[in-house]
Amino acid sequence: MIYYFKELSENRKNLLFLPLSIWENMNPKPQWLTLQAGEWMARVEVELREDLPENTVGVSTIAEFPFNLPEQIPFEMKIQEGKLRIGPIMGILAFHETHEMTAEALEKYTRYLAGYSSINGLIYICSAKGINHSLKTIEGYCFNLEEKTSKPVWMFGKFPFPDVLYCHLEQSEDEYNQTLSVMRGKILNANLSSKWLLSKLFQSSIHLRGHWPYTELLNNDHKLDDMLNKFGSVYLKPLVAEKGKLLFKVDKKEGSYRIHDYFGDEKSLNSTMEVNDYLKGALHDTYLVQQAVPVVKYEERCFNFKVHMQKTSRSHWKCAYITAHFGETGGISANFNRTGIVLNGRDALRQVFQMDEREVFKKEQEIIELCCTACKTLEHSKGSYAELSIDIILDENLSVWLMDINHHPDHQSLFYSDRQLYLNVLATPLEYAKLSAW
């Protein structure tokens, strides 16, 4: 049943009033209960209030709550072993600074709450700077749907640490560890491992190592040549995922080297010394050197499949949809830009590889099964996730290769092609978040 909280005039602190509909089902009748809202708990005195509507719980106006409990928000309630718990309370960590939470920026998040009526509880958007670790409160904007206008309304307030925090941005290591210590581990989609740690994790898995390009840390002048002697062609990738435009491809043939950068420029060099000197000037961060898998191109475009995986309300991984992203003509990667192309994954399998319907189905199932294994492996080792986007490529023999994982996927390509699927995909992570919280 859904309950609302209402402030009642009373000169006693921390007093909770229960309606008859709850009181008559309690045996024995409690004088005190522990009230829990998110991570906050307090001992409250309990009284029956017969004039309260059956779906309303009253609190004294001078209750010492260090946060807001909006009266317009519908809550679910659980009473067990002397504790009255209200919720679910879910936070979406979407901004670094409080001033970034403008009306325009918040408007984007109304799409994520399309299924709010089936979730209920308190859902708020917050910033890293709005977190008060000592009080276990967070400043932000909570979501409410007014029945009169049927328009989403954002209300500013101070709220308890949530039952679960869903991260939409990267935190520093210190910020993450501090939040994790208070949240007791109920954080979804927090910091992902570096590409190097991800490579080590997948290369150590008997189920994934044959589907992950062999990768080494570029930590000495001999490593590049060693990898080129093994594979003939390699990629140099920065550890920081957001720096994809600093990607390089290096080929070695008959003693000469060709270096291609993300922008299509090519440089030919004739010795290991020249290559190392060039890279020392070009690489300003820590890099990986990775086996270049021989892939099929389409109309001179590199492409990959993005497999969007989500946790269901039953805590199982499922594939929400697959898209194929085609990079710039003549480029060295499928990194998407304004000249790129996006196709439905099945259409790309038909068009590029000339597969029939049976072949498309079998390859799609193979891809999804591998991605489920990758999600479970990552989650078992590194934390909890509500959704992940996995980059997949097919080599010349149609073997499936994992290339990268993104824990903050962008579903914008669905916005114009399939609006209903887009809204369903945005709503699913919060449905799983409720399962985690409640």
Three-state secondary structure string covering 36-57: EECCEEEEEEEEECCCCCCCEE
Q: Are residues 177 and 242 in the same domain?
A: no
Structurally, the chain folds into a number of domains equal to 4
pLDDT value at 230 more than 90: yes
What is the band of 213 on the pLDDT scale with cuts at 50, 70, 90?
A: very high
All residues at 6 or more sequence positions from 119 whose CB lies less than 8 Å from its CB, including other chains: 88, 90, 430, 431, 434
Domain annotation covers residue 399:
yes
Q: Are residues 106 and 82 in the same domain?
A: no
**More reliable by pLDDT, 339 or 366:** 366
- Cα distance between residue 249 and residue 235, in whole Å: 4
Domain annotation covers residue 209:
no
- CATH number assigned to the domain comprising residue 336: 3.30.470.20
Using the 3D structure, point to which of 22, 52, 87 is the last residue of a domain: 87
Neighbours of 182 (CB within 10 A): 13
Domain annotation covers residue 419:
no
Count, residues in the chain: 438
Q: pTM for this structure? A: 0.89
**More reliable by pLDDT, 285 or 124:** 124
Most confident among 67-71, 145-149, 150-154, 422-426 (mean pLDDT): 422-426
Q: Are residues 54 and 70 in the same domain?
A: yes
**Angle of CA points 153, 171, 375, to nearest 5°:** 90
Backbone angles phi, psi at 399, to 5 degrees: -75, 150
Q: Among 176-190, 272-286, 389-403, where is mean pLDDT lowest?
A: 176-190
Tokens of 173: 């290591």
**Angle of CA points 278, 404, 297, to nearest 5°:** 75
Domain annotation covers residue 136:
yes
pLDDT value at 370 more than 80: yes
Q: Are residues 35 and 55 in the same domain?
A: yes
pLDDT value at 24 more than 70: yes
Using the 3D structure, point to which of 69, 87, 105 is the last residue of a domain: 87
Q: Are residues 140 and 80 in the same domain?
A: no
What is the band of 49 on the pLDDT scale with cuts at 50, 70, 90?
A: very high
Q: Are residues 111 and 183 in the same domain?
A: yes
Domain annotation covers residue 160:
yes
Mean pLDDT over all residues of the chain?
Answer: 88
- CATH number assigned to the domain comprising residue 264: 3.30.1490
Of the chain, the percentage scoring pLDDT greater than 70 comes to 95
Domain annotation covers residue 163:
yes
- CATH number assigned to the domain comprising residue 41: 2.40.40.20
Owner of token pair 């994954």: 345
Q: Are residues 10 and 83 in the same domain?
A: yes
Looking at residues 194-201, what average pLDDT do you find? 89
pLDDT tens digits, 72-123: 889 999 998 899 999 999 999 999 999 999 989 998 888 888 778 788 899 9
Q: Are residues 62 and 102 in the same domain?
A: no
- Cα distance between residue 35 and residue 202, in whole Å: 44
Domain annotation covers residue 31:
yes
Q: Are residues 313 and 396 in the same domain?
A: yes
pLDDT of residue 43: 92
Using the 3D structure, point to which of 87, 106, 125 is the last residue of a domain: 87
Q: Are residues 95 and 173 in the same domain?
A: yes
Domain annotation covers residue 206:
no
pLDDT tens digits, 214-226: 999 999 989 999 9
pLDDT value at 387 more than 90: yes
Of the chain, the percentage scoring pLDDT greater than 90 comes to 54
What is the band of 410 on the pLDDT scale with cuts at 50, 70, 90?
A: confident
Three-class SS state of 158: strand
Q: Are residues 309 and 253 in the same domain?
A: no
pLDDT of residue 247: 87
What is the band of 57 on the pLDDT scale with cuts at 50, 70, 90?
A: very high
All residues at 6 or more sequence positions from 57 whose CB lies less than 8 Å from its CB, including other chains: 3, 4, 5, 6, 16, 17, 18, 19, 22, 77, 86
What is the band of 45 on the pLDDT scale with cuts at 50, 70, 90?
A: very high
Task: Quote the domain boundaries for residue 107.
Answer: 89-188
pLDDT value at 243 more than 50: no
pLDDT tens digits, 133-175: 888 899 999 987 655 555 667 899 999 999 999 999 887 777 7
Q: Is 174 left (phi over 0), alpha (psi -120 to 50) or beta?
A: alpha
All residues at 6 or more sequence positions from 247 whose CB lies less than 8 Å from its CB, including other chains: 235, 236, 237, 238, 261, 262, 332, 333, 335
pLDDT of residue 245: 60
What is the band of 284 on the pLDDT scale with cuts at 50, 70, 90?
A: confident
Q: Are residues 82 and 95 in the same domain?
A: no
pLDDT tens digits, 318-339: 999 999 999 888 777 776 666 6
